[in-house]
Amino acid sequence: MAATQRIVIENGAIATVDDRDTEYASGYVVIADHRIESLGAGTAPEGLENVVRRIDASGHLVTPGLVNTHHHFYQWITRGLATDHNLFDWLTALYPTWARIDEPMVRAAAQGSLAMMARGGVTTAMDHHYVFPRGAGDLSGAIIGAARDMGVRFTLARGSMDRGASDGGLPPDFAVESLDEALAATEETVRQHHDPSFGSMTQVAVAPCSPFSVSTELMRQGAELARRLGVRLHTHGSETVEEEKFCHELFGMGPTDYFESTGWLGEDVWMAHCVHMNDSDVAAFARTGTGVAHCPSSNARLAAGIARVPDLLAAGVPVGLGVDGTASNESGELHTELRNALLVNRLGAHREKALTARQALRLGTYGGARVLGRADQTGSLEAGKLADLVLWRMDTLAHASIADPVTALVLGAAAPVTASFVGGRQIVGDGRLLTVDEDAIARATRDEARRLARIAAHG
Ligand SMILES: [Zn+2]
């Protein structure tokens, strides 16, 4: 076996996001192979062996890598459409275009989505993919391959829709799979790609899309499948008033009660949005340990409302942040969500007490790792955890005069990423991706977006 190789990072401010929110004004982190070996105030211990690299982090803030908990990569090639719509009108406008995607489009869109996030400090990504047109190729394989090439830790939430318009659902019939197809393909994806080990780069979750695009049977059997295979469950929930109305009309109950009745509350479940929840819904999430992916930019873009994040946190509900698909959040950056989580929640009932900058950073790191079921491995800087961490440059025009580095990161402009490590492997250097060709990805996404627009226009 090769000798342990060490990387020493010194002289930077460090926000560990551990359970005591330990910070060092100037400290060190020692990476040994894939993991964090030690960290603390001052300079690294003397006499470390096999140090292959020393990084001077003066003028930087070191944090855990950001964790994204909700996204739809394919939307990277349908950005800037239906910009003044609410969720249901926006979906109805976009489904016909989305139903025409194929494997090269999905690959390019995944590369674009991942590149944008990785450059901005994301070390753990996820994609909720639920559009599988017949004959479109191996979409799950293309998405997972894109994440592997980039070197980002990744969860694919294998989505599905089987409630077409003729069954009272929102998507057109041509955009949905059958119940049996969806379950079989999801099981196959788990068996082929899911790696449950410590430090795994690829995990798969079972993820029917939403109450208004999925049959009750697919919700029920999807939950059973996930538990039989030992993987996590993900879906959209309680996003809009229209969804709430839909659930009352079709099921005679609100979304949270519907989820509970179909097996969709539990500590192995995380749900995107959770905007329209009453006190008993919040209590049900807390009682069952169900996690939430808070997506403030997308919720604002689609006029969905403000999730009750301070109440969810006070109740002990695990909460992470999500970019959501870039057709409803064109920036595609998770940094924006740290800031918007803080700002949007201060517009709610708790006003200036809603969230602190440190809580926002926690949502985007440890909170995300928790909802993805990986808080024992990533999401905070602690000895023994994976070396997933970011060096943010804080000594340039944008941030140098901001009093506190965590405030600068959360409320300031998007901070330049000097270096980003995933499992001890550097994937970003001086703001550029080291693992893939960013310019080639930009060209491919532009070409595939144009090809999709052409195909969609011709029907
Ligand atoms: Zn979504």
Contact 129, 157 (CB under 8 A): yes
Q: Whole-angstrom Cα distance, residue 27 to residue 33?
A: 20
**Does 112 fall in a domain?**
yes
Spacing, Cα 323 to ligand 1 middle (Å): 9
Taking the centre of ligand 1 as the mean of its atom positions, its distance from the CA of residue 272, in whole angstroms, is 6
Amino acid identity at 74:
Y
Shared domain for 222 and 335, answered yes or no, is yes
Residues 94 and 23 in one domain: no
Q: Is residue 458 scored above 90 in pLDDT?
A: no
| pLDDT given for residue 1 in this prediction | 67
Cα-based angle 346, 350, 355 (whole degrees, multiple of 5): 55
Classify residue 343 by burial, with Cβ atoms within 10 Å: 0-12, 13-18, 19+: middle
pLDDT digits (tens, 9 = 90+) for 240-297: 999 999 999 999 999 999 999 999 999 999 999 999 999 999 999 999 999 999 999 9
CA-to-CA distance for 173 and 6, rounded, in angstroms?
A: 55
Please give the structure tokens belonging to residue 327: 């057709």
What is the pLDDT averaged over residues 62-83?
Answer: 97
Q: Please tell me the predicted confidence (pLDDT) of residue 2.
A: 83
Q: How far is the CA of 396 from the centre of ligand 1 (A)?
A: 35
Q: Using DSSP, state whether 113 is helix, strand or coil.
A: helix
70 CA distance to ligand 1 middle (Å): 6
pLDDT tens-digit map of 22-35: 999 999 999 999 99
Asked if residue 206 and residue 60 are part of one domain, the reply reads: no
The SS3 of residue 290 is coil
List pLDDT tens digits, range 7-59: 999 999 999 999 999 999 999 999 999 999 999 999 999 999 999 999 999 99
Does 93 lie in the same domain as 46? no
Q: Report CA(223)–ligand 1 centroid distance (Å).
A: 19
Average pLDDT, the chain: 97
Judge if 41 and 178 occupy the same domain.
Answer: no
Q: Looking at the structure, do residues 120 and 136 belong to the same domain, yes or no? A: yes
C-alpha of residue 377 to centroid of ligand 1, in Å: 25
Q: Is 102 in the same domain as 139?
A: yes
Contact present, 71 and 324 (Cβ < 8 Å)? yes
Q: How many domains does the chain have?
A: 2
| Whether residue 427 sits in one domain with residue 308 | no
Q: How far is the CA of 127 from the centre of ligand 1 (A)?
A: 9
Q: Are residues 50 and 125 in the same domain?
A: no
Question: Exposed, middle or buried: residue 223 (CB in 10 Å: 0-12, 13-18, 19+)?
Answer: buried
User: Measured in angstroms, how far is the CA atom of residue 324 from the centroid of ligand 1?
Assistant: 5
State the distance from the centre of ligand 1 to the C-alpha of 437, rounded, in angstroms.
Answer: 27
Q: Are the C-beta atoms of 131 and 172 separated by less than 8 Å?
A: no
Same domain, 27 and 75: no
**Assigned domain for 206 exists:** yes
**Residue tagged 């041509």 (tokens):** 174
- Does 149 lie in the same domain as 18? no
**What is the share, in percent, of the chain residues with pLDDT greater than 70?**
100
Q: Is residue 135 part of a domain?
A: yes
The CA 23 to ligand 1 mean position distance, Å, reads 33
Q: What CATH number should be reported for the domain holding residue 57? A: 2.30.40.10
- Token reading at 161: 């829709």
**Residue 355 in contact with residue 367, Cβ under 8 Å?**
no
Residue 440 covered by a domain: no
Beta-strand relationship, 122-129 and 425-429: unpaired
In a domain, 1, yes or no: no
Q: Is the pTM of this model over 0.95?
A: yes
Ligand 1 centroid – CA 54 distance (Å): 40
Residue 438 resides in a domain:
no
The encoded tokens of residue 181 equal: 């197809």
Give the domain extent around 405.
6-64+381-433
Confidence of residue 418 (pLDDT cuts 50, 70, 90): very high
Q: How far is the CA of 261 from the centre of ligand 1 (A)?
A: 22
The CA 33 to ligand 1 mean position distance, Å, reads 35
Please state the three-class secondary structure of 62-76 as a single string: EEECEEECCCCHHHH
Per the domain annotation, does 227 fall within a domain?
A: yes
Residue 448 lies in a domain: no
Of the residues 371, 403, 420, which one is the last residue of a structural domain? Answer: 371
Contact between residue 55 and residue 7 where contact means Cβ atoms under 8 Å apart: yes
pLDDT-above-90 percentage for the chain: 98
Distance 347 CA to ligand 1 centre (A): 22
Residues 353 and 413 in one domain: no
CATH code of the domain in which 185 resides: 3.20.20.140
